[in-house]
Structure 1
């Protein structure tokens, strides 16, 4: 029996894109025990990944070194007797705890000054592995082993009883088709489709007899308020659910419309038919990994710029992406 620790990413989308790696490990070593070291708030994600045995909370926020705390955590991890650790983030800090814990095999991409911290350091070929999920997946095999089979899509499992409890608690109706819209993007405004476009699409869907539910966190309150002003019949759930509840409720959607965000990857892992709107980012690197997914992007000369705020001040990549394009993509999904 092999014990493997995964140092997982802290972002929602990145954490979900690691799930195919866990499936690959289990396919190669069914007796493997996989534990994950990640921030506590990612528990709802990892709890819905069947391959994971246990989640260990990482008490660090972005940018914090906290050497004493890392050393203390490493002592606890050492006692668990892991045979291997796979470090998914590329930062130096993410490789410190595995080193301090003395885990015999420490695997990861070479990354940020990690010579000596990893003893199974891989050199990334970005052309051979253009997608982030592929880069995670490749670490589940020995160095140099090519991807000879198609990578499976990420999968999140749902507990129907917990979902029913959430529906009842919030007084929701599932009698008519639900379209979930996720208008936020924590990275920045250059990833957010404008509220006026979202509202136009929502009104068209509502006129067809569909429900439109908005998903997001408290950080998305402003854009959701703008949408509600223009489309008052939408149901705004942003900030009113936990991440666990949002995942369960999104699984009820007939369709999902998302920016390039963590919730886009949630919808994809739930295998919901979805339309993904891309502005400043690239669908080549982090596409929605689902059987039924349409990408809508204008592919302007200035994009992808990968900036949080449009450096040219016009954000044409999203402002000029009209609602009719997304509506057409939704209809194509359902034919």
Structure 2
């Protein structure tokens, strides 16, 4: 019996799906422990038989004890998640030695520096050598594929992590105005409710209005998607939606989209990536990416992917 603690952040949860094929080999019985709000990511994945929704630490520990798991992999970096596995009696507790939890782990691996490896590669190294490396590592979400609506552009105007991670709202507005004038429909999404980008019937403001399952459904219909380093960026990557990913205070080497139809844009200032919620210097230079660069990249994506139907790797052989 293997138990896997799924990350709490939406983007990290999406990235963790890339490891499941190796864990869900026929020889392994796998249970996934996760927060309720990331459940829609996993509900349609073939082979997932047991999903436990984490509510309270005390209840999690009781359930883990009943499982009598041989191995537990922690894709979360927190002390509390390691404590749950420790008190739940998981025999082999595997995770990175972060957040002062080394003594709670039976196999405490040295953490990598942020950006040293892509986070998917960090997850892969965590499960080896316990699980045989048989299959490729696609990011995948199954069950939401629809024919893309040509002429529809999705925009997520911000991450809930903090100001430093967000490109300027006014610049998103200028991008939206340009494409509305060109006759495109713009769908505005995001976790938090924000004002409408453009006062036009061609702009639909769904920010703060969609549940996760609905958000995945909306993104799956887009011709292209524009966002910062957000959970929705990783969903678009998993669905192979042509996308522009704008990186400011974070690193595409660590959490960039694993999508062959993606363009990553960043300023490249020497203080980035800092991974801060707010700019320590107060100038937010990392966000100074010209609107013209986004528009030009979007036009190139549209031209190169007009006849492209979004594809995701769904099978164990990567097809």
- Displacement after TM superposition at 1:5 (Å): 0.9
Find the partner of 1:5 among 3, 6, 17: 3
Structure 1 contact 259–278 (Cα < 8 Å) conserved: yes
User: 5 Å matches for 1:308-327?
Assistant: 308-318=277-287, 320-327=288-295
Structure 2 contact 176–198 (Cα < 8 Å) conserved: no
- Displacement after TM superposition at 1:185 (Å): 0.3
d(CA) in 1 for partners of 2:7 and 2:213?
18
What residue in structure 2 maps to residue 242 of structure 1?
Answer: 211
Are residues 1:284 and 2:253 paired?
yes
d(CA) in 2 for partners of 1:105 and 1:287?
31
TM-score normalised by L of structure 1: 0.82
Find the partner of 2:165 among 176, 191, 194: 191
- Displacement after TM superposition at 1:156 (Å): 0.8
What residue in structure 1 maps to residue 233 of structure 2?
Answer: 264
d(CA) in 1 for partners of 2:255 and 2:230?
9
TM-score normalised by L of structure 2: 0.86
User: 5 Å matches for 1:1-335?
Assistant: 3-26=1-24, 29-60=25-56, 69-70=57-58, 72-126=59-113, 130-142=117-129, 152-159=137-144, 176-217=150-191, 219=192, 221-222=193-194, 224-225=195-196, 227-229=197-199, 233-318=202-287, 320-333=288-301, 334-335=303-304
d(CA) in 2 for partners of 1:33 and 1:102?
17
How many residue pairs match? The answer is: 303
Give structure 1 regions of 4+ aligned residues with deviation exceeding 6 angstroms. none
- Displacement after TM superposition at 1:15 (Å): 0.7
d(CA) in 1 for partners of 2:170 and 2:102?
49
d(CA) in 2 for partners of 1:261 and 1:128?
16
Structure 1 contact 153–290 (Cα < 8 Å) conserved: no
- Displacement after TM superposition at 1:81 (Å): 3.1
Structure 1 contact 21–139 (Cα < 8 Å) conserved: no
Assess, with a 3 A threshold, how the Cα gap between structure 1 residues 157 and 15 changes in structure 2: closer, same or farther.
same
Structure 2 contact 180–186 (Cα < 8 Å) conserved: yes
- Displacement after TM superposition at 1:301 (Å): 2.0
Structure 2 contact 144–216 (Cα < 8 Å) conserved: no
Task: Structure 1: state its 5+ residue gaps.
Answer: 61-68, 165-173
- Displacement after TM superposition at 1:311 (Å): 2.0
Residue by residue over 1:226-274, the C-alpha shift from the partner in whole angstroms, topping out at 9 and shown as x without a partner, is x235x66311011222111010111011111011111111111111111
Assess, with a 3 A threshold, how the Cα gap between structure 1 residues 150 and 307 changes in structure 2: closer, same or farther.
farther
- Displacement after TM superposition at 1:141 (Å): 1.7
d(CA) in 2 for partners of 1:50 and 1:141?
22
Assess, with a 3 A threshold, how the Cα gap between structure 1 residues 121 and 46 changes in structure 2: closer, same or farther.
same
Residue by residue over 1:130-181, the C-alpha shift from the partner in whole angstroms, topping out at 9 and shown as x without a partner, is 1212111222221799x9x996231111246xx79xxxxxxxxx76421111
d(CA) in 1 for partners of 2:295 and 2:136?
30
Which moved further from structure 2: 11-20 or 84-93?
84-93
Which moved further from structure 2: 258-267 or 95-104?
95-104
- Displacement after TM superposition at 1:126 (Å): 4.2
- Displacement after TM superposition at 1:14 (Å): 0.8
Match of 1:116, SS state, is helix
d(CA) in 1 for partners of 2:32 and 2:12?
14
Q: CA RMSD in A?
A: 2.6
